[in-house]
Amino acid sequence: MDFKDFAAKMKEKKGQSADIPAEMPYDFAEAYRLRAKMMGVLLCDARTSAARTVEDCARLLHVSVEQIQGWEFGDDSPSLPQLELLAYYLDVPVSHFWGIQTATITRAGGEAIQPEYISLRNRMIGALLHQARDEMKLDLAQVSEQAGIAPNILESYELGDVPPPMPVLLTLADIYRKSVPYFLETSGQIGELLMMREAWKHFMSLPEDVRAFAANPLNVGFIHIAVLLSQMPADRLRQVGASILDITM
């Protein structure tokens, strides 16, 4: 019985509930069993979608392989803290485990598009390398002298035929006076996730009191004001500061 069968059976039982005599007790055991089965399907799906093994999950939680298998078969269920760790490890929201959508659906075709994604990104990085070199008004021979890389290899990087190894890309970025984020993916699901992780890294590096202030929904208005002030021209900002000073005097 797959996930859709479980969902259909739950709906069927719900539809039949009106026909059940009032004195007939609700079958809690059956309801718990079905929920455990559904959670097991979602757990197995998230694990396989994340390319993790049963052994990987067992090591993470310090439980036996048989216990993980029991969860996936619906014979038993994990606790919420265990689910939280699994959600983090399998890269899904914890609510996934009591939802109705499988990770396979949301990540459909992920493995199939990886070669195409890498090929496209290599061409994009090559175009950015060419653009950066043009901005610096350098020819391939000049870059070759500074980087110690043959001109024909540099050209293959710019055409996207060969991906530059990361140490080489860092060297070329220095020559072209570009930072690494200049070459990073910034659009699409992968780009948005990478940007979000970078933003979270910077947020966590802030002092604790600043993080607490920013995380408080009641302070959103103050943050909007700060954003507006940061976008003002310097002369206009000075006028605002002078006005505030007049008010407080």
Same domain, 121 and 150: yes
How many domains is the chain built from? 3
Same domain, 249 and 173: no
pLDDT higher than threshold 80 for residue 1: no
CA dihedral 53, 57, 62, 63 (to 10 degrees): -80
Same domain, 102 and 20: yes
Q: Which of 16-30, 74-88, 115-129, 226-240 shows the lowest mean pLDDT across its residues? A: 16-30
In a domain, residue 49? The reply is yes
pLDDT higher than threshold 90 for residue 72: yes
Listed residues 49, 83, 106: the one ending a domain: 106
Same domain, 154 and 117: yes
In a domain, residue 195? The reply is no
Backbone angles phi, psi at 143, to 5 degrees: -65, -40
Listed residues 69, 91, 106: the one ending a domain: 106
Same domain, 37 and 91: yes
Same domain, 94 and 44: yes
Q: Between 100 and 184, where is the model more confident?
A: 184
CATH of the domain at 52: 1.10.260.40
Q: Give DSSP secondary structure letters for 143-192.
A: HHHHHT--HHHHHHHHHTSSPPPHHHHHHHHHHTT--GGGGS--SHHHHH
CA dihedral 10, 12, 14, 20 (to 10 degrees): -130
In a domain, residue 190? The reply is no
Counting Cα atoms < 13 Å in the Cβ hemisphere of 164 gives 28
Same domain, 101 and 8: yes
Q: How confident is the model at residue 240 (pLDDT cuts 50, 70, 90)?
A: confident
pLDDT higher than threshold 80 for residue 113: no
pLDDT, average across residues 161-168: 88
Task: Give the global pTM.
Answer: 0.49
- The token duo for 55 is 């052994």
pLDDT higher than threshold 50 for residue 137: yes
Q: Which of 95-109, 137-151, 189-203 shows the lowest mean pLDDT across its residues? A: 95-109
- The token duo for 101 is 């959508």
Counting Cα atoms < 13 Å in the Cβ hemisphere of 212 gives 3
Same domain, 91 and 157: no
| Spatial contact of 147 and 171, defined as CB atoms under 8 Å apart | yes
- The token duo for 113 is 């598009």
pLDDT higher than threshold 80 for residue 8: no
In a domain, residue 198? The reply is no
Same domain, 37 and 83: yes
Residue range 14-30, pLDDT digits in tens: 555 445 455 567 677 88
- The token duo for 41 is 């399907």
Q: Which domain holds residue 172?
A: 113-183
Going 192 to 194 to 199 to 200, the CA torsion angle's sign is positive
What DSSP state is assigned to residue 99?
Answer: S
